[in-house]
Chains A and B, each alone.
Chain A
Amino acid sequence: MTHIFVDLIYAIMDTVWDVLPIAAIIFSFQLFILRKPIPNLKKILTGFLLVLLGLGFFLEGLQAALFPLGKLMAYQLTNPDFIAPDNGQRALQWWDYHWVYLFAFAIGFATTIAEPSLLAVAIKANQVSAGAIGIWGLRIAVAIGVAIGIALGVYRIITGTPLYWYIITGYVFVLVQTMFAPRMIIALAYDSGGVTTSTVTVPLVAALGLGLAGTVPGRNPLLDGFGLIAFASLFPIMSVLAYAQLSEWRNRRNQRSSTQ
């Protein structure tokens, strides 16, 4: 049990190491280029300290509690003995993996809700839009996008179809949606693609991809195990654009019915 606390110290030290270059850039530009004292320096430094401690605790907690179990689960669920315990003769079809799809969808949704960078962007978007964009609305829209994306990505690994078909089709879809979406959501929607795949999502999803590519016959983990992150960063763009369109459409319908 005590090793958790030792590991916690290491996790905090790792975070300090990651933050050092960022702090160096910020403070050197502040001192040499802007040449202005930083307003509320004490408060900002306290904030940095809290972020460091927070990420240290966060990462160590994930490492100790959720990642080992989640990764083991990803391997167990993709194991052929689990998928078809009764026969070793019949070739597995893509629908035999139904638990894997459900796991991919559920874990994609759940890890996105817990993702700190998405929370940060949602808080900012809520402030900037003066409450028009809800923190939970955005987070749930993104999480649904990630869930669909990862489930589809799993289907791609199982069927062995080329990754770029899906991504290019996705791009076309995003561009068409952009033409019809409300202007103020566009940049935020594009951003939400990149912020979703971070500390919590990447390790679990990577384990799922590598587990699948290692056990599905004919797949090579090195070549086919990748691509899930790409799905997870493309589909939230679509779901956020769709969410904005849907709420705009609903507002318009409400206005129309109230004027009648």
Chain B
Amino acid sequence: MKSLRAVWNSLFDSFRDLLPIIVVIGFFQFAVLQQPIPNFGEIAIGILFVVIGLTLFVQGLNMGLFPIGESMAYAFASKGNIFWLLCFAFALGFGTTIAEPALIAVAEEAALVAATGGMIVDDPQARESYAEGLRYTVAFSVGIAIMIGVFRIVMGWPIQYLIVIGYTGVVVMTAFAPKEIIGIAYDSGGVTTSTITVPLVTALGVGLASSIKGRNPMIDGFGLIAFASLTPMIFVMGYGMLI
């Protein structure tokens, strides 16, 4: 009985998270566009799916993703081998980004822009190889980002210094990069971090900062995602300049 109530409560929480979207879309549909809702039944089932999905995700987060990220952080810290830790960080960043569906979509758009802008030959093959090169570039840059971020946690450097360097990199690259690529490069920073990567990487950072002596998990543990959304901008503009 008690667990049933817990399930009900978490379903209700998920519904509350979703409520703003329902209100916004409903308001614009009825009050602004003044149109009825098409396929009402389908939409109701879809909303039910979203609520169930969010509830299961939060459960799984606390049971699976957070504990594994933290236990690996502790294991690496107690082993004391920084080389393998950095390798793991790179692999995690690279491996989770290369298959990211949002990135695949953005890379295809970018190839289209490059072909229209005359940067590459406008045929399917050239576009495909451009898109693939871009995906590897972004995945590589996220790997580097997580690696630098983990190294920062180990060393205890203040994050803002590295961010200033990153921002300077973005500004300098903007001055030299082809105009067509800038919008995509800026957007690629945001799309790389997926829903599974974020909890894992966050748990890894916080776990490392709490198991290394002299680090504060709040000050030092966060920040890995910040690097992962900064380096792709620099690398994508670099890619645009080279190709």
Inter-chain contacts of B99 with A (CB < 8 A): 17-18, 20-21
Q: Please report the C-alpha to C-alpha distance between residue A110 and residue B95 in the assembled complex, in whole angstroms.
A: 30
Q: Which of B24, B65, B197, B219 contacts A48 (CB 8 A)?
A: B65
Number of interface residues of A (CB under 8 A): 105
Cβ of B229 < 8 Å from any Cβ of A?
yes
Cross-chain contact A128 with B42 (CB below 8 angstroms)? no
Inter-chain contacts of B217 with A (CB < 8 A): 128
Inter-chain contacts of A223 with B (CB < 8 A): 113, 117, 179-180, 183
Inter-chain contacts of B23 with A (CB < 8 A): 110
Least CB distance from B111 to A in Å reads 11
Cβ of A73 < 8 Å from any Cβ of B?
yes
Cross-chain contact A62 with B198 (CB below 8 angstroms)? no
Cross-chain contact B50 with A61 (CB below 8 angstroms)? yes
Cross-chain contact B84 with A33 (CB below 8 angstroms)? yes
Cross-chain contact A191 with B223 (CB below 8 angstroms)? yes
Cross-chain contact A113 with B17 (CB below 8 angstroms)? yes
Cross-chain contact A73 with B60 (CB below 8 angstroms)? no
Interface string of A1-45 (1 = CB under 8 A from B): 100100010000010011111101110011001101011100111
Cross-chain contact A19 with B61 (CB below 8 angstroms)? no
Chain B contacts with A in 99-114, Cβ cutoff 8 A: 99-102, 109, 112-113
Cross-chain contact A33 with B88 (CB below 8 angstroms)? yes
Cross-chain contact B57 with A116 (CB below 8 angstroms)? yes
With A119-B17, A123-B61, A124-B203 known as contacts, the answer to whether A99 contacts B32 (CB < 8 A) is yes
Cβ of A243 < 8 Å from any Cβ of B?
no
Chain A contacts with B in 157-181, Cβ cutoff 8 A: 163-164, 167-168, 171, 174-175, 178
Inter-chain contacts of B54 with A (CB < 8 A): 54, 58, 114, 116, 119
Majority secondary structure of chain A interface residues (helix, strand, loop or mixed): helix
Majority secondary structure of chain B interface residues (helix, strand, loop or mixed): helix
> How many interface residues does chain B have, given as a range?
35 or more
Cross-chain contact B50 with A58 (CB below 8 angstroms)? yes
Interface string of A105-118 (1 = CB under 8 A from B): 01101110110110
Cβ of A215 < 8 Å from any Cβ of B?
no
Inter-chain contacts of B33 with A (CB < 8 A): 73, 76-77, 82
With A77-B33, A121-B202 known as contacts, the answer to whether A61 contacts B222 (CB < 8 A) is no
Q: Which of A34, A113, A184, A232 contacts B219 (CB 8 A)?
A: A184
Cβ of A120 < 8 Å from any Cβ of B?
yes
Cβ of B208 < 8 Å from any Cβ of A?
no
Interface string of B189-230 (1 = CB under 8 A from A): 111111111111011001000100000111111111110110
By beta carbon, the residue of chain A nearest B35 is A76
Q: Which of B38, B51, B59, B202 contacts A120 (CB 8 A)?
A: B202
Q: Which of A49, A187, A198, A226 contacts B194 (CB 8 A)?
A: A198
Inter-chain contacts of B223 with A (CB < 8 A): 187, 190-191
Among B68, B87, B112: residue with most chain A CB under 10 A: B68
Cross-chain contact A24 with B171 (CB below 8 angstroms)? no
Cβ of A233 < 8 Å from any Cβ of B?
yes
Q: Which of B37, B160, B202 contacts A191 (CB 8 A)?
A: B202
Among B50, B195, B216: residue with most chain A CB under 10 A: B195
Q: Which of A48, A183, A222, A233 contacts B60 (CB 8 A)?
A: A48
Interface string of B123-167 (1 = CB under 8 A from A): 000000000000000000000000000000000001110011001
Extra contacts besides A24-B95, A51-B57 (9): CB < 8 Å: A18-B99, A22-B200, A50-B57, A62-B46, A116-B195, A124-B66, A175-B160, A188-B222, A222-B113
A–B Cβ pairs within 8 angstroms, 30 of them: A19-B196, A21-B99, A29-B72, A30-B75, A40-B67, A47-B62, A47-B64, A50-B56, A50-B60, A50-B63, A54-B57, A54-B59, A58-B50, A61-B49, A66-B50, A103-B28, A106-B27, A116-B57, A116-B58, A117-B199, A124-B199, A124-B202, A128-B218, A168-B174, A175-B164, A186-B158, A188-B222, A197-B190, A223-B117, A230-B183
